[in-house]
Structure 1
Amino acid sequence: MCGILLYHGGLAESDSTCRDEYMEFEENFHNKITVNCHNAIIDNLIPYIVRRGPNFSSYRYLEKYNTCWFSSILSLRQPFTKQSINISNRYILQFNGELYNHGIEEAHESDTQFIVDLLEGSIEDDNSSTQQQIIDIIRRLDGEFAYTIYDLKESVIYFGRDSIGKRSLSFYLDHTSGELYISSVTGTTTKNFVNCNGGQIYIYSTVKKSMLEQNIMIKDIPYHINDTTDTDLKNYDSLIQNLYKQLQIATNKRITTIHPTHIENSPISVLFSGGLDCSVIVALICQYFTQNNRKTTIELLNVGFENPRTKLQPCDTPDRKLGISSFNILKPLFPDVDIKLIEVDVPYEEYLTVRPKVIDLMYPKNTEMDLSIAIAFHFASRGVGFITQDNKRIPYNRKGIVLFSGLGADELYGGYHKLANKDTPQLVEELQRQINNIHDRNLNRDDKVIADNGVEVRYPFLDESVIQFSTSEIPINYKINKFILRELAKTKLLLGPIAEKPKRAIQFGAKSAKMTKDGNKNGTDILK
């Protein structure tokens, strides 16, 4: 996980500090970082970027190109790779995320270095246009990422997010001055930032001071939902086996790309409501370590809010009760894995204190529903809570820096309540809309509030191969109330009781929605 910030425009008035070509800021010096750019937007954005990458930060300014880069790094792989990266004095690269291209995990190669090698190779290739080479390189990447690539020779900046949009990225283009800002997170610094679309490759000319070709996509078409039915369940066994294999691969490569020293010294964390989706992910992680005879600790991050309207305490929330129940099912299934349930309690006063920060982080999302989801993820990923040990409840702070999430299962397998009464054409249409819009509806917001805690989240259900298989191969009748995932949980993971649990949205399970007596607000209401 990293934070990236790029600015192209008029920095000619900057002082000598800003004119330094490259400055580095080591760990633990983040509160003192200043680059004196005389640019209020950059100065305001830097603290957001720093919190996303607690291990290293750097600032680069190339006066010749009127461009500066600020990067922060959460180090998960060796060798440690500093950013931004000057590639043969031709490209400047910033990369935020993780790649799972074949071979990276076996060699424990830096994913940033993987892109560097591709870009260096393109410099020597005269068989196609530079723009097409860059587009082809971006299309080769498999993972969860956002990026900026400045082609210094062609005076073009490429930026965007992976095909699903699992990492946040926003930009602001001043059409009058031609100034361009690109940032992982913006807060409410300016109301002009817009979220990048998932999978769109943005191309900006620093000469023309405008965007070039529009709607260049990593994938040529949106995902389309299979509208066929298998009424007699003739393909039941093969479909469940194939989905199980896809999810195994997606989960395993998100484990093997964590450097071994991190797994040996730090747990893997899971955002854990106790429901079906996250329990499937926990079981798949446990299976990997059990089958490979490796030891690890898994932290299940379960959040509950004190809610004055319902008069519930965190320990009484539905997700806390479900989390404990599911934890007690998972733990005996995998006796060789150290599974810890971290109970994250959020007192109402602390909710009120952190609320403005989360509203700021999730911008431009600004509804009651967005806040109730975002603040649950923010506290869960912060992971300050309790564990029960020797029948005593003792304080415990999350130690894992890689978090797994079950996000995507509802969109792929029909988990939302509003889908229950739809006929087949309506269900196909809604599921197609859900998965193709998840970059804007969920991911940009969630990445901003989670990564602010200096952690990285990974999404096995949103692996490209899992999505492709789930949308194109699984008949629509297997996606009524997540039928196929529930059957997989029972037959392949032995999660019988968990597989029967109904869907409950996190804001209602954790009781982070409708916190006050003025509880008649709708989720779509704009925050005040």
Structure 2
Amino acid sequence: MCGIFCSLHVGCCGHTGNIDGEPNNTVYHELSERLKVANAARGPDAQGTHHVRVQRICSGEAQAPSPSNTCSPAIDLEFFASELRLRGDAPIVQPHQQDGDVFCWNGEVFEGLNVNASENDGAKLFQSIHTLSTMDDLPFLLGRIEGPYAFVYYHAESQKLYFARDPLGRRSLLIHKPSVFNPYFLLASVSVGDDQGYVMEELPTEGIFCLDVGQLCESKEVTQHFDSNLTCIPRQIDRRNLPFAKLNRVNTALPPDVPPLVPSLDSEILPRDLAIAVDHLIDHLDNSVMLRVRNIPRRTSSSEKGRAQVAVLFSGGIDSTMLAFLAHRHVPLDEPIDLLNVAFQNPRKIQVQTDGNIGAIPKREKKRQLKAAEINGVLKESTSYMVPDRVTGLQEVEEFKRICPGRTWNFVEVDVPYEESQAARAAVETIMFPGRTVMDLSLAMALYFASKGVGRLRISEATDDYQPYTSTARVLLNGLGSDELLGGYGRHRTAYATRGWQGVIDELQLELDRIPTRNLGRDDRVISSHGKETRHPFLSLTVVSFLAGLPVHLKLDPRLELGLGDKMLLRLAARKVGLLEASTRKKKAMQFGSHSARMEPGEAEKRGDLMIRTVSEP
């Protein structure tokens, strides 16, 4: 995991100014420094900066600039990268550099590139790109590697800047294009929040972008000609076998007229094609987890020995439980696995649980009473962190103890008081930007505190004794993707009710199409702010390809009740590996299972897609 930042700033004949030649140094340089600080938090192990000046020769004689000279601008490129060392034996300081080429890499290569345990995948990939006979082959190289990534690569010979995210957008990369008011180009893993100095957007994932920096030097009106020098190279430009160049389409085959029903998860005799699919899912998911938990460099500090290197964002639901169980297969038995379980003190929930809404008290009066209760300490006394995810998490740990002998499971109870969550809100809003909806905030708050990993462990269940605990794990497994790929949302059931199996197929394709634009960039920015890396075994492109290719009726069956028909294939797989309790649990969205959503009285009516009002706004 890394934080990467790249800027392009233009002056004339070596005099740095803004893109159109007017002084704008102060705004640009202050913003640049703030962005480097923000991106340094993602990689606490090392940081590095490299500058490149790209300049064309003036068309007139070499002399002091004057209005009569037709001088081309000089372009200053700055590359910054921070490093969280999770691959290889030796520390790596980015940016990578050789023969004028510069590479900033934020990602992991899990398949398609021969990287042994002692090597760094970013350094290995840099050499592979640097030795290409032509940069036209870059799409073919990237199309053969699997893993989450975002990168920036400057090719000195052609004076071109290449940048992209992986096809699923599992790593964040934000872009600001130069404008009249903000005349510079920026790429950054994370921003500094809503700011007048830029218009930040998520970089699209449909291709590899190429900016012809040399051509920009030919024009004084660089702002005006920026877009004409920016191209998007398709990931798959011919019929070559590029397994990871793009997402596979969902299988459009309709099931038989009346597919056989699976009466229960205990069915010993499944239809042959379903039984085969269960085995293949276990194999694919097991391999995906193995690739994501092996060969994590061990830190040598004596205080870190015997501490967890892998954690799971853990609700006790079927997704996180399956990942934790498979991690158990591949993490050394003498190494604990941290299960990060977050619960929020939610005043609205507490009030409803304590008082209900007797007499239909108006919202304004309820809010006044809540404030008074908070001041008088009543909330603190009545706080319960036994939210739905805490209950299911504790239940699942007991199942783990039965079926995973010898493993130490650190069930980390991350309890978030209301005052603490509100104090962190401004920081969370900054990190998740440009995400700005109510749902963005609810999910980001849960991920922010869970990934921070500061909580407590139960010493004795009998006496409810605890000890403080902070997770040392830098790799966090996340179950995101299973609902989209396996039909775990209520809307899949609704699609079947209104349009039959064809409606379910269409909905699954829509889910796959929008995965790159929904949660992943935001989640990466939030979790990485603590110097942690999230890994998504369900979103391995190998797993995605397998699940997309399965006939729809092998993945889910909306005819069956909740807890059986939704994500049916995963439930059968969990049952087969021995996760009996987890296999029947019903889905609960993270923001509701942790109580991070709708904390204030009156928030129940707010839709998730509404824009938030930032804490600094009146």
Instruction: Determine the C-alpha separation between the residues in 2 that align with 1:287 and 1:82.
Output: 33
Larger CA deviation: 259-268 vs 320-329: 259-268
Aligned 8 A contact 1:204 1:212 in 2: yes
Instruction: Determine the C-alpha separation between the residues in 1 that align with 2:4 and 2:245.
Output: 26
Match of 1:3 in 2: 3
- 2:188 pairs with 1:183: yes
Matches within 5 A, 1:215-234: 216-217=234-235, 222-228=247-253, 229=255, 231-232=259-260, 233-234=271-272
Match of 1:514 in 2: 598
Residue 474 (structure 1) shift: 4.3
Match of 2:91 in 1: 80
| Cα distance change on mapping 1:139 and 1:220 into 2, 3 Å | closer
Instruction: Determine the C-alpha separation between the residues in 2 that align with 1:102 and 1:381.
Output: 29
Task: Return the match for 2:531 from 433, 444, 454.
Answer: 454
Match of 1:201 in 2: 208
- 2:147 pairs with 1:143: yes
Match of 1:483 in 2: 568
Q: Deviations over 1:380-401 (max 9, x none)?
A: 0001111001441111111111
Matches within 5 A, 1:122-141: 122=132, 125=133, 130-141=134-145
Instruction: Determine the C-alpha separation between the residues in 1 that align with 2:27 and 2:141.
Output: 33
Q: 5+ unaligned residues in a row in structure 2: which ranges? A: 18-24, 55-74, 217-225, 237-243, 261-270, 354-382, 558-565, 614-618
Instruction: Determine the C-alpha separation between the residues in 2 that align with 1:259 and 1:8.
Output: 35
Task: Return the match for 1:70 from 80, 93, 103.
Answer: 80
Residue 140 (structure 1) shift: 2.6
One-letter amino acid of the structure 1 residue matched with residue 41 of structure 2: R
Match of 2:160 in 1: 156
Q: Deviations over 1:349-376 (max 9, x none)?
A: 0111011111111111111111001110
Larger CA deviation: 52-61 vs 222-231: 222-231
Residue 14 (structure 1) shift: 6.5
Task: Return the match for 2:322 from 255, 269, 280.
Answer: 280
Q: Deviations over 1:176-210 (max 9, x none)?
A: 58732110011223451110123521111112344
Q: Greater Rg, structure 1 or structure 2?
A: 2
Match of 1:27 in 2: none
Residue 261 (structure 1) shift: 5.2
Aligned 8 A contact 1:223 1:436 in 2: no
Instruction: Determine the C-alpha separation between the residues in 1 that align with 2:575 and 2:468.
Output: 34
Q: Secondary structure at the match of 1:39?
A: helix
| Cα distance change on mapping 1:178 and 1:412 into 2, 3 Å | same
| Cα distance change on mapping 1:294 and 1:324 into 2, 3 Å | closer
Q: Deviations over 1:120-168 (max 9, x none)?
A: 321xx3xxxx331222222232111110001111111111111211110
RMSD: 2.3
- 2:221 pairs with 1:214: no
Q: Secondary structure at the match of 2:176?
A: strand
Aligned 8 A contact 2:339 2:410 in 1: yes
| Cα distance change on mapping 1:84 and 1:103 into 2, 3 Å | closer
Instruction: Determine the C-alpha separation between the residues in 1 that align with 2:590 and 2:284.
Output: 26
One-letter amino acid of the structure 1 residue matched with residue 103 of structure 2: L
Match of 1:46 in 2: 36
Larger CA deviation: 217-226 vs 148-157: 217-226
Instruction: Determine the C-alpha separation between the residues in 1 that align with 2:454 and 2:587.
Output: 26
Match of 1:111 in 2: 121
Q: Secondary structure at the match of 1:479?
A: coil
Task: Return the match for 2:199 from 176, 192, 197.
Answer: 192
| Cα distance change on mapping 1:38 and 1:173 into 2, 3 Å | closer
Task: Return the match for 1:444 from 516, 521, 534.
Answer: 521
Number of residue pairs the alignment of both structures matches: 498
Instruction: Determine the C-alpha separation between the residues in 2 that align with 1:100 and 1:516.
Output: 43
Match of 1:98 in 2: 108
One-letter amino acid of the structure 2 residue matched with residue 331 of structure 1: K
Q: Secondary structure at the match of 1:213?
A: strand
One-letter amino acid of the structure 1 residue matched with residue 230 of structure 2: L
Matches within 5 A, 1:90-489: 91-101=101-111, 104=114, 106-122=116-132, 125=133, 130-176=134-180, 179-186=184-191, 187-189=193-195, 190=197, 192-206=199-213, 207-208=215-216, 209-210=226-227, 211-214=229-232, 216-217=234-235, 222-228=247-253, 229=255, 231-232=259-260, 233-259=271-297, 266-267=307-308, 268-289=310-331, 294-311=333-350, 313=383, 315-391=385-461, 392-423=465-496, 424-480=501-557, 481-489=566-574
Instruction: Determine the C-alpha separation between the residues in 2 that align with 1:188 and 1:13.
Output: 30
One-letter amino acid of the structure 1 residue matched with residue 482 of structure 2: A
Residue 283 (structure 1) shift: 0.5
| Cα distance change on mapping 1:199 and 1:248 into 2, 3 Å | farther
Larger CA deviation: 272-281 vs 58-67: 58-67
Residue 444 (structure 1) shift: 0.6
One-letter amino acid of the structure 1 residue matched with residue 155 of structure 2: D
Aligned 8 A contact 1:246 1:466 in 2: yes
